Amino acid sequence: MHELSIAESIVSIAGRQANGRRVTKVHVKVGHLRQVVPSALSFSFGLVAEGTPVEAAELDLEEIPATGWCRECEVESRLGNFPLLCKTCGDSNLEILTGEELMVEYLEMEE
């Protein structure tokens, strides 16, 4: 379950940035291609955050859809599941534009 290690990283980042303040919300962008199970990440986040400035913070996940640009037909489209294929011509020669994100976008903290 890679969600546990992702949760550990999120809590670590938020804790460092909080600089002693209590974190109330952590907003994370997660690309579709990261294959993160939101419920598993939320559960892991709650466990890992215990006893830290991030304890009881809301984990707000924003899923970023996968999009790609086809090098064959030069069309940008939203991608589905694997294998990743152009929705227009069916080719796999794609440049991935979005969907690989995994970042803490912002924190909300008490004053």
**Surface-to-core class of residue 15, CB atoms within 10 Å of its CB (0-12 exposed, 13-18 middle, 19+ buried):** middle
pLDDT in tens, 34-64: 999 999 999 999 999 999 999 999 999 999 9
Q: What is the pLDDT of residue 30?
A: 96
The full set of domain ranges for the chain reads: 2-64+98-109
Spans in the chain with pLDDT lower than 50: none
The CATH number of the domain covering residues in 2-64+98-109: 3.30.2320.50
